[in-house]
Amino acid sequence: MNRILEKYRNGQPSVGTFTHMRSPVAVEALGTAGLDYVILDTEHCVQNPETLADCITAADAAGLDAVVRINAISREAVLRPLDLGAKGLIVPAVETVEEVERLVRFAKFPPLGNRGFCPTRDGLWGFDDASQAGSEVYMDRCNRQTLLIPQCETAGCLAHIEQIAATEGVDGIFVGPLDLSIALGCPMELDSPRMRAALERVVAACKAAGKLTMIFCGDTAAAKARLAAGFDSAALGLDVLTLIQSYRAMAKEVRG
């Protein structure tokens, strides 16, 4: 089961967070927080394949969807986390429809794409129920349950958002508001008229295409506002920052 997708289909918001701690223990701990998913970030945080595999395993054990933000539009960057069992991919710095179509070819099995096939962890090396039912059942399950989410954070992606959201094989759009605000010439002005119009356009494009919308939110107030504005999922904060903020507050309180 993909928790993000299940909640979207039931009209319920999903909530997750980013991790930069490169720690299966940290991921397992997040599973006690009532979150639906954790985003393992390989764009701004270097993670070796072994650590990524351990964190995905920890997320599964903790009842979290493991979503990986990859660092390149390439076959290797797409295929490796999928083989490890990631429930979805977020793809940053997307600019064009052609890039998205290439991503679909890498991430989806036929007839949608041309993902490479091998018995790997995502199908319990050929021994989960879908795999045992046959390769067609397994590939169909992967195509339906594994999310491919381009990230709208560039002017190019926003300019083509209607086509990108409607592309077969794309399951939704993730908005990176910080980089998008920079690209739109209003750096960090996340509630400026230009940003509000951009976010409204993304939500409208996804709703028209029947695709889910996700967005990074720096705090709970922003998350509530974005969900109220039509987004389906909020990625709330970053574990390292939350750790710092929590301990800073406790230290300040103790010291008076």
Convert the pLDDT of each residue in 70-84 to its tens digit: 999 999 999 999 999
pLDDT at 1: 84
214 has a pLDDT exceeding 90: yes
53 has a pLDDT exceeding 90: yes
Residue with tokens 């996700």: 214
89 has a pLDDT exceeding 90: yes
- State mean pLDDT over 94-103: 98
For 3-255, CATH gives: 3.20.20.60
High-pLDDT (> 70) share of the chain, %: 100
φ, ψ at 65 (rounded to 5°): -75, 125
Note whether 14 and 37 are within 8 A (CB).
yes
pLDDT at 27: 98
256 has a pLDDT exceeding 90: no
pLDDT in tens, 216-242: 999 999 999 999 999 999 999 999 999
**Rounded Cα–Cα distance for residues 113 and 49 (Å):** 24
- State mean pLDDT over 132-136: 96
- Exposed, middle or buried by CB within 10 Å (0-12, 13-18, 19+), for 139? buried
Provide Rg for the chain, Cα atoms. 18
Where are the strands (E) in 96-249, listed by range?
A: 147-152, 172-175, 212-217, 233-238
Token pair for residue 98?
A: 């052609």
119 has a pLDDT exceeding 90: yes
**Rounded Cα–Cα distance for residues 158 and 162 (Å):** 8
